Structure 1
């Protein structure tokens, strides 16, 4: 089985981690209806979520203004004998974009510390060709050095780092961030563009030893479509718009007759990989391209991927396991529905956001501020990894973006 590597995925074993209208009526009826009056006020909830991110960013900083927040904490990841601290760049990129969404002076300052760290690890990579890696050790950053914990260079990760740097340039006007984003984009173009095997698009990236991942991922190509479109806007160079169109056309080729979007291709780069069907291929296709055709994928999601787990109802990661709620997915599904703004979408989005706020208050291993990744431990993504009910910077950032109605795949209009 080949498909997108889940970029901030806690793998099934600790060893692998170190190495590497409204919601569906049936789901809502099965879930215990929360007392809306007892939920956190949305404004207070957002403020507390930002407090969570602030504490994580400030925890691991060096004397030169470089900071990286650990991605996961609590539960499975924090025991008396083991504390898993790596920082996944996908999560970090989301934190940067969430800070720019609110845009207070301290938000931009913290966003810069992460952006400057992206430039630091990019400039000090052992290969040094513009790439970043999947994850780094924040303890190393605090000591002024680059310690790679996830050495793979996956295409989607690169695009997310690029989008974070593009956002920082948009927010600050500081040229170094745009220069760093262009270096990332050039790495993607040089190392992953596939204009030989139709449908044309971008492959999965490279492993530590330089081996190319020759399958193509819908998720990754959606990331590229958003990132390269931003570069075209910021640089005025239409070549990036042309390349964004290649990625977007690949996503179109992955849409099935019933509206859902498949995960990508097999190793031949052409044969569609039809299992499992992941949530983010549905929501990100809509967010990353702005194409109304993917509204059908959102409707498919509401009909097929909604999970109920005790008091929680929301999307799962894929059709493989719909026994638990993936709160990161609740965030980008809520954002997608908010932006689509069709009949019933506002109510559905608010139900999802209310579910996240309930988890913020009550979920296992929570702290009343951050958002846990899943409603309970052991959610099987279908891609070889498990997710846990542990506090997660990426999930918290997606919640904040959804609450703000801010699409990370597009630059703000102001």
Structure 2
């Protein structure tokens, strides 16, 4: 993540058929296994219902709108309602896994929001911003209500990946066009061959370049450009994807079997503090490179967290006192892909903890997933996570539970 960031589905039986809830994590076919499967199906249905509820909070049908990312707890106290596009992107991809007409309509609507934001940004160069305000999203003069104005390169890539997934599922050219708009912005504004070649952080609130190079951003960009190569056949996107992934390789620490955060603003000096979880799991999800499978093991060995009866991983090595539920879902997705010895048991355990959090975590509503097991999880990047319901964490739980990989088409 870039630093500062049941009625709908019909019957549970139909859900299990449509979404192919994984059985690898629930070996066997006895009563206990069937009970676990039913619990997962019901939990997934409730999580999809949560996303639908948040998306429809400020409108219905084709009305352009965005869901607020965080609900309840700390954020209720400060009336914080911003919608982060990073959260909206995996939400789109999760809704596509459902595939029902109602949820696909929501996914397309959110994609149309992204196209509108690109076309109506006040700078006018095709960018989107880190967050927007949902009420109203579109102001009387037609401009979007911007929350956080920074334009991070990784966020542009997540918007692009969501649009590529929509193009794949709908065949509508407008989504591919929007994805190319995002890609061209990334290339023109953030590519740097200086120092360690790679893509920089983007543009800040004052439209000045952010010259650090983040491993996470380059993973996002590498995966996004690979999708564009697949969908357009244009070799240039494969070349650019490989350039982004070459930066990730440069951040690989072979003795430690983990990946560094990126570079300082000079584009050369490696940033070794903190070490975040997402680059470890995302590098493997995006590339399927066996070396990054070792980074998944590093994450389990070094970032495991237990708190309030929940078990998972934390955000970074800065603070492992609390569980970061979104990151735990990232880990499940990586383990789903890897399927090494012992991974099925790990998947079952982490999914059980996520289902437990859905029902028992502070500020739960029985449907969505909160961001952290308790308030005050320090990311190490100047941000804190709270036990507040989170669309991003819920979307990633759904991707993990339905064995989806958002980094691949």
What TM-score results when the alignment is normalised by the length of structure 1?
A: 0.89
Q: CA deviation at 1:208?
A: 2.0
Tell me if structure 2 keeps the 8 A contact 1:77–1:390.
yes
Q: How does 1:53-68 map to 2 (within 5 A)?
A: 53-61=51-59, 65-68=63-66
* 1:11-69 superposed Cα distances (whole Å, 9 cap, x missing partner): xxxxxxxxxxxxxxxxxxxxxxxxx9799800000000000000001112378531211
Tell me if structure 2 keeps the 8 A contact 1:7–1:88.
no
Aligned partner (choices 83, 86, 110) of residue 106 of structure 2 = 110
Q: CA deviation at 1:209?
A: 1.5
Q: Residues 62 and 348 from structure 1, CA distance in 2 versus in 1: closer, same or farther, beyond 3 angstroms?
A: closer
* Corresponding position of 1:265: 263
1: CA distance between counterparts of 2:48 and 2:110?
15
Tell me if structure 1 keeps the 8 A contact 2:139–2:145.
no
2: CA distance between counterparts of 1:52 and 1:7?
24
Say yes or no: does 1:87 pair with 2:83: yes
1: CA distance between counterparts of 2:386 and 2:54?
19
2: CA distance between counterparts of 1:365 and 1:319?
26
Tell me if structure 2 keeps the 8 A contact 1:276–1:318.
yes
1: CA distance between counterparts of 2:58 and 2:168?
26
Look up the SS of the partner of 1:165 in the other structure.
helix
* Corresponding position of 1:220: 217
Tell me if structure 1 keeps the 8 A contact 2:164–2:175.
yes
2: CA distance between counterparts of 1:355 and 1:39?
14
Q: How does 1:203-214 map to 2 (within 5 A)?
A: 203-214=200-211
Q: CA deviation at 1:271?
A: 1.4
2: CA distance between counterparts of 1:53 and 1:102?
12
Look up the SS of the partner of 1:346 in the other structure.
helix
1: CA distance between counterparts of 2:80 and 2:344?
37
* Corresponding position of 2:47: 49
Aligned partner (choices 169, 187, 203) of residue 171 of structure 1 = 169
* 1:98-151 superposed Cα distances (whole Å, 9 cap, x missing partner): 011121111110001111011111111001111000000010226664100010
Look up the SS of the partner of 2:94 in the other structure.
helix
Aligned partner (choices 375, 378, 386) of residue 384 of structure 2 = 386
Look up the SS of the partner of 1:314 in the other structure.
strand
What do you get for the CA RMSD once the two structures are aligned?
1.6
* 1:208-250 superposed Cα distances (whole Å, 9 cap, x missing partner): 2221110100000000011000000011101001000001111
Q: How does 1:9-20 map to 2 (within 5 A)?
A: none
- Gaps of at least 5 residues in structure 1 are 9-35
1: CA distance between counterparts of 2:46 and 2:2?
31
Say yes or no: does 1:252 pair with 2:227: no
2: CA distance between counterparts of 1:182 and 1:94?
18
* Corresponding position of 2:288: 290
Q: Residues 7 and 291 from structure 1, CA distance in 2 versus in 1: closer, same or farther, beyond 3 angstroms?
A: farther
Q: How does 1:357-372 map to 2 (within 5 A)?
A: 357-372=355-370
2: CA distance between counterparts of 1:392 and 1:216?
27
Greater than 6 Å deviation, 4+ residue runs: 36-40
Q: CA deviation at 1:187?
A: 0.2
Tell me if structure 2 keeps the 8 A contact 1:61–1:142.
no
Look up the SS of the partner of 1:133 in the other structure.
coil
- Gaps of at least 5 residues in structure 2 are 6-33
Q: CA deviation at 1:7?
A: 5.3
Aligned partner (choices 94, 98, 104) of residue 98 of structure 1 = 94
Q: Residues 179 and 91 from structure 1, CA distance in 2 versus in 1: closer, same or farther, beyond 3 angstroms?
A: same
1: CA distance between counterparts of 2:80 and 2:265?
32
Quick one: higher RCO (CA 8 Å, sep 6+), 1 or 2?
1
Look up the SS of the partner of 1:83 in the other structure.
coil
What TM-score results when the alignment is normalised by the length of structure 2?
A: 0.90
1: CA distance between counterparts of 2:61 and 2:334?
39
Tell me if structure 2 keeps the 8 A contact 1:96–1:115.
yes
